[in-house]
Structure 1
Amino acid sequence: MASNQSARPGCEDQHAADLPQDFESALAELEALVTKMEDGALALDDSLRAYQRGVELARICQQRLDVAEEQVRVLQGSLLRSLDEASGEGGA
């Protein structure tokens, strides 16, 4: 059992390395996994692995959405400041 645990971190590193890093790829793979799981054709162990992979993919999607949302906030803040400055100059 101890040898299984010692081999596990390397497996996790390899597993993390094969996860898609872009939103679109992660979402497409997640949708495909959901379809397979909904079909009920997977064995129990395969379903558990698919579920674990799905959680990881969902996490990647959420992280990418969080980054995009923050970028939109920054852009909106810059735009609003520019508009406020322009309206302040125009009103004087």
Structure 2
Amino acid sequence: MSNTTSSSPPPESFEQAMAELAQLVTQMESGQLPLEASVAAYARGSELVKYCAAQLDKVESQVKVLEGDMLKPFAADTAGEGAQ
């Protein structure tokens, strides 16, 4: 068995984590993984999602510091959908 341990190394970057996550999803969607490998892939995918979410939170905090009060949500653009 390869890569079925729960102590997989952390990804080197956000982009690497996303690429690995996409690969895992493709493998799982193919339906060709044995049950044990599917469970391991799901567990690894969960770790990668948590890593990516943490990275995004960290970057969001950095952007807020850099932009200060100028940071505005994109959702404000959808408020006047019928106005135009």
TM-score calculated relative to the size of structure 2: 0.72
Q: What is the letter of the counterpart of residue 59 of structure 1? A: K
Deviations along 1:33-66, one digit per CA (max 9) or x if unpaired, are 0000001010000000000000001111001000
TM-score calculated relative to the size of structure 1: 0.66
Once superposed, what is the RMSD of the aligned Cα atoms? 1.7
Whichever structure has more helix as a proportion of its residues is 1
Gap runs ≥5 in structure 1: 1-10, 81-92
- Structure 1's consecutive aligned runs of 4 or more residues displaced over 6 angstroms after TM superposition are none
Q: Which residue of 1 aligns with 2:34?
A: 43
Q: What is the letter of the counterpart of residue 56 of structure 1? A: E
Q: Which residue of 1 aligns with 2:10?
A: 19
Q: Which residue of 1 aligns with 2:19?
A: 28
1:65 aligns with 2:49: no
Q: What is the letter of the counterpart of residue 54 of structure 2? A: Q
